[in-house]
Amino acid sequence: MKSENSARLWKEANTVLVGGVNSPVRAFKGVGGNPFFVVSGKGSTITDVDGNELIDYVLSWGPLVLGHAHPLVVEAVTRALGKGASFGIPTEAEIRLGERIAALVPSIEKVRLVNSGTEATMSAIRLARGATGRDLLVKVEGCYHGHADGLLVKAGSGLTTLGAPTSPGVPAAYGQCTLTVPYNDLDAVRTVFEAHGANIACLIIEPVAGNMGVILPNPGYLEGLRALTKQYGILLIFDEVMSGFRVAMGGAQERYAVTPDLTTLGKVIGGGLPVGAYGGPAEIMDLLSPVGTVYQAGTLAGNPLATAAGLATLDVLSAPGVFDGIEAKLTRLGDGLGTIAKEAGIPVYQTQAGSMACLFFHDGPIADYAEATTSDTARYAKFFWGMLERGVYLAPSQFEAAFMSAAHSDADIDRTLDAARAVFATLE
């Protein structure tokens, strides 16, 4: 794989960008080596500055469920841009995207659009505190909800990759308002609620964890959280920034038939442009300004380019057979990888929920953050680089998800499996 131009740009990037990147996981610290630089994407592939074409299973970390530069999304954004990039006053597209979200996501009657998943989660937590008059937050170890103060406590994703369980710069008082419990452990939740329930505003969780690898909820776990939060008057927040329109069209809450009090969204609803949203029942959402007194605002919230891309994406994704087809392709890829690993004698543990999945280099089931961190990250790094050399781009971290798109073809999957067969033969 040619890399001269990427190497040159990497040196230049490090002179002006912190660590050479604008988001830590892009630095490839989880697999060693240096990142490549992308110049374009089309369908299921990206092309880097050295002319290498790669089958992409990262898809901008999930938003590109239709693939790169889908013609209907490009057309919608181009049309919107021709009318103006931003206004700071209402547009009809905001209404239509809000209607679409409310129609698809079971828990949502009203929605507030924001600019990122981080904004969505921090705002939903503020709303929960305003609604309950309580201060404490319960989060689940290994679930990542953005980089807001108070959420960088035993978070996953890049923090897991970099080995930093928390972050300097977060006041101790913020950390004291955040209580943590393991994923898939109802007894731990019950214990925390018994001790602090009267002061807990909300419990926030990725219902399908996607930032410590993809970890699925045990049978009864989400139902148990719903029952316990109702018992103690605690709001349940599902962070579906990743799982929304990936695990099912209505998110994990549709797939597992558990309805939270508030839901946060991002990624797919912007079709690759910066976006976030949070929503829930009208009686809770109407506590927000300008109706209520819980304040949250954003100059670029509901941006016309992002709403256009999101509406176009959801239009295509909602067509009969599209979502199921994407899931089926990922299942075929996962089955093939599992067979290859078994033939090579390499222990792996695979998970899949809808169109997101993970291949853990681990010899047994993984149910929580602690178990995820015992994966063989060195072996994953060898696998990553071997696949990249053969034209397949996977997440540069064992603790991230792989994604499938509508643009991936059977030929892409066949080529990926051929590459995996060659790489697994080199692993020890």
As annotated, the active-site residues are 144, 239, 267
DSSP string, 51-117: --EEEESSGGGTT-TT-BT-HHHHHHHHHHHHH-S--SS--HHHHHHHHHHHHHSTT-SEEEEESSH
Q: Which residues contact 408 (CB under 8 A, 6 or more apart)?
A: 44, 55, 67, 326, 329
Distances from the Cα of 283 to the Cα of 111, 261, 288, 292, 425, angstroms:
12, 11, 10, 10, 58
Residues contacting 338, CB < 8 A, separation 6+: 348, 350
Pure H helices in 295-409: 304-317, 322-344, 369-372, 377-389
What the block records as the tokens of 335 is 């089955």
Q: 184 φ, ψ to 5°?
A: 65, 25
- Let me know: does 245 contact 355? Beta carbons within 8 Å: no
What's the count of helices (H) and strands (E) in the chain, helices before strands? 15, 14
Start-to-end CA span in the chain (Å): 23
Beta-ladder partners of 179? 138
Using DSSP's 3-state secondary structure scheme, residue 277 falls into strand
For 129, 311, 322, 428, the CA distances from 407, given in Å and listed in that order, are 42, 18, 10, 33
